[in-house]
Amino acid sequence: MSPAPREAVIALVDCASFYASCERVFDPRLEDRPVVVLSNNDGCVVAMSQEAKVLGVPMGIPWFKLEPVAATQGIVARSSNYELYGSLSARVMEVIGRHAAWQEVYSIDESFISLRGTVEEVIQAGRRIREDVARCTGIPVRVGIAPTKTLAKVALLGVKRSAPLSRVGVCHFGAYSPTQRDTILASIPVTDLWGVAGRLGRRLANLNIHTAADLAAQDPGQMRRRFSVVLERTVRELRGTPCIPLEEEPRQYKDQLIYSRSFSEPVTTTPAMRQVLSIYAQQLASRLRNAGQEARVLTAWASTSPFATDQEPHSPQISAVLPVPTAEPVTIARGSLGLAELIRPGTRYVRAGVVLTDLRPAGQAETLPGLGPPGEGRNLGPTLDAVVARFGVGSVGLGYGGLGTPPSWQMRRAMLSPRATTHWDELVTVRL
DNA sequence: TCTGGGGTCCTAGGACCC
DNA sequence: TCTGGGGTCCTAGGACCC
């Protein structure tokens, strides 16, 4: 008998109920309890623990609807604490990376790695990763393994949906016979696949393609002609041919940068909108500078609530090409402020955003003397950032953003946990 | 009263070039 | 009446991801 092949495979490691798990790391009282994590402004549920899923809490339900029943069901809510989640994510990813030669950090709670070995060896490697991450960070992870990214996602679905697999926490697609694999694919709705959502799902249903097995049976070229190259790749990946490479190097530069927020209470006046835009623009300029990039095109928008029935929807938007590519906060704020003149005073706006596109690495082009933006060369951005770092957000601001008291529309986060891993004064106290 | 935020990729179509 | 062909670049919008 020939030895079992030691094939290269892709493993997808994902954190179980990541935000809820983060909340538990520093608050063991939340163990075994239904935990939900809310969006900004404590708006709606964006993540929940297994216990909350079992209770049937719908994803996306507004907190004001869930709150009345939460107490009676023992549901604990937390405001989202992205600083904590980001910090724990970095630790989790670092530990996962110790176990593989190649790693792609795909999102805040998912990472692709490549492994090599027999089916048994790779499953053992998956188990070691789980134990290691749990021991080092307190975060539970699961591992789906297959020859392609799309099938690794499918294997992960197995861990999530099958009770025996979820106890092990690791699923290797290659551990199944061809007949068993077909059965698995036939049990998965197409819209559960990576890259297939509602719109595509409806169009596929019209062609009588309902399950992953149905899709895998299609001719790849025809799927490309009728839909797109994206769906063609999905078909090929379902058949075991890798089409989506592991991206080892994190991308150095982004294509666009967005700062958008809902308000805790509606903004109805031009002066208030000017203040919003000044503050958002300053935040965005700071991010852009930290990324080492400059922007040439700016877009600002505001919008009314899609749920409001008593007023006309209104979503004004402006776009501007900046005189020269810049990360200079005064220029970006000035470019955004034009939007404030487009709002209808009295109309209730619930959110706004500023978007920078056509980004490029900073310092690529020399500007002729006198042609640069007004603040250029005066180090305004770094100075503002330094003051904010030392005295906190809101301690200093540009023009309309420079206010002593926080504006009434500012984000609400009533159930915020401590930022235990990034702020000395928010360290967790342990009593023995 | 109260419903998130930040990204990427692909395609079609228009502008423009020779 | 009849008005080329082939190519690139750019942008807006759709669709998807977590």
The nucleotide closest to A43 (CA, C1' atoms): B3
Question: pLDDT tens across A270-282, in order?
Answer: 999 999 999 999 9
Lowest mean pLDDT among A25-34, A94-103, A209-218, A407-416: A407-416
Average pLDDT value over all residues in chain A:
91
The gap from C-alpha A234 to its chain's centroid, in whole angstroms, comes to 22
The nucleotide closest to A18 (CA, C1' atoms): C18
Q: CA at A326, C1' at B7: how many angstroms apart? A: 21
Q: Is the CB of A259 under 7 A from strand B?
A: yes
A63: which 2 tokens? 């907190």
Cα end-to-end distance, chain A, whole Å? 58
Q: Which residues of A325-342 are buried (b: 16+ CB within 10 A; e: fewer)?
A: bbbbbbbbbbbbbebbee
The nucleotide closest to A65 (CA, C1' atoms): B2
Alpha helical stretches, state H, A207-269: 212-216, 220-226, 229-238
Q: What is the pLDDT of residue A230?
A: 94
Domain annotation covers residue A54:
yes
DSSP 8-state code for residue A44 = B
Check whether residue A322 and residue A431 sit in a common domain: no
Q: What is the pLDDT of residue A382?
A: 78
Q: Which residue is nearest to nucleotide B9 (CA to C1')?
A: A230
Spatial distance between the Cα atoms of A187 and A193, rounded to a whole number of angstroms: 12
Check whether residue A317 and residue A430 sit in a common domain: no
**Contact between residue A302 and residue A315 where contact means Cβ atoms under 8 Å apart:** yes
Q: What is the pLDDT of residue A378?
A: 65
pTM of model > 0.75: yes
Domain annotation covers residue A251:
no
List the nucleotides on chain C closer than 7 A to a protein CB: 11-12, 14-18
Q: Which residue is nearest to nucleotide C18 (CA to C1')?
A: A107
Domain annotation covers residue A187:
no
Q: Is the CB of A379 under 7 A from strand B?
A: no
Alpha helical stretches, state H, A29-176: 50-55, 63-73, 82-97, 119-137, 149-161, 163-168
Q: What is the pLDDT of residue A431?
A: 86
Check whether residue A375 and residue A424 sit in a common domain: no
Q: What is the pLDDT of residue A251?
A: 83
Check whether residue A274 and residue A141 sit in a common domain: no
Read out DSSP for A148-192? SHHHHHHHHHHHHH-HHHHHH-EEEGGGS-HHHHHHHHHTSBGGG
Confidence of residue A394 (pLDDT cuts 50, 70, 90): low
Lowest mean pLDDT among A10-19, A310-319, A396-405: A396-405
Q: What is the pLDDT of residue A372?
A: 57
Domain annotation covers residue A14:
yes
A42: which 2 tokens? 């404590």
User: What's the average model confidence in pLDDT over A333-345?
Assistant: 93
Check whether residue A395 and residue A422 sit in a common domain: no
Check whether residue A41 and residue A18 sit in a common domain: yes
Q: Is the CB of A106 under 7 A from strand C?
A: yes
Domain annotation covers residue A307:
yes
Confidence of residue A375 (pLDDT cuts 50, 70, 90): low
CATH number at residue A40: 3.30.70.270
Q: Which residue is nearest to nucleotide C11 (CA to C1')?
A: A358
User: What's the average model confidence in pLDDT over A400-429?
Assistant: 84
Check whether residue A320 and residue A426 sit in a common domain: no
Q: What is the pLDDT of residue A401?
A: 64
The single residue listed with the structure tokens 């504006």 is A407
The nucleotide closest to A355 (CA, C1' atoms): B6
CA-based radius of gyration for chain A? 25
Check whether residue A97 and residue A141 sit in a common domain: yes
Spatial distance between the Cα atoms of A159 and A142, rounded to a whole number of angstroms: 7
Spatial distance between the Cα atoms of A381 and A318, rounded to a whole number of angstroms: 23
The nucleotide closest to A80 (CA, C1' atoms): B4
Q: What is the pLDDT of residue A380?
A: 74
Check whether residue A418 and residue A388 sit in a common domain: no
Query: Which of these, A245, A217, A231, A317, lies nearest to A277 by C-alpha position?
Result: A317
Check whether residue A429 and residue A350 sit in a common domain: no
Q: Which residue is nearest to nucleotide B3 (CA to C1')?
A: A62
The burial of A345, by beta-carbon neighbours within 10 Å (0-12 exposed, 13-18 middle, 19 or more buried), is given as exposed
Q: Is the CB of A109 under 7 A from strand C?
A: yes
User: What's the average model confidence in pLDDT over A107-128?
Assistant: 97
CATH number at residue A324: 3.30.1490.100
The nucleotide closest to A67 (CA, C1' atoms): B2
Domains held by chain A: number: 2
Identify the residues numbered 172 to 211 in chain A whose C-beta atom is closer than 7 Å to any atom of strand C.
193-201
Spatial distance between the Cα atoms of A79 and A102, rounded to a whole number of angstroms: 34
Q: CA at A265, C1' at B1: how many angstroms apart? A: 9
Given a cut of 90, is residue A323 above it in pLDDT?
Answer: no
Q: What is the pLDDT of residue A417?
A: 94
Given a cut of 90, is residue A396 above it in pLDDT?
Answer: no
Check whether residue A269 and residue A397 sit in a common domain: yes
Check whether residue A121 and residue A51 sit in a common domain: yes
Q: Is the CB of A229 under 7 A from strand B?
A: yes
Q: Is the CB of A358 under 7 A from strand C?
A: yes
Q: Is the CB of A162 under 7 A from strand B?
A: no
Read out DSSP for A265-334? EEE-SHHHHHHHHHHHHHHHHHHHHHTTEEEEEEEEEEEE-TT--SS-----EEEEEEEEEE--HHHHHH
Residues of the domain holding A115: 9-146+414-432
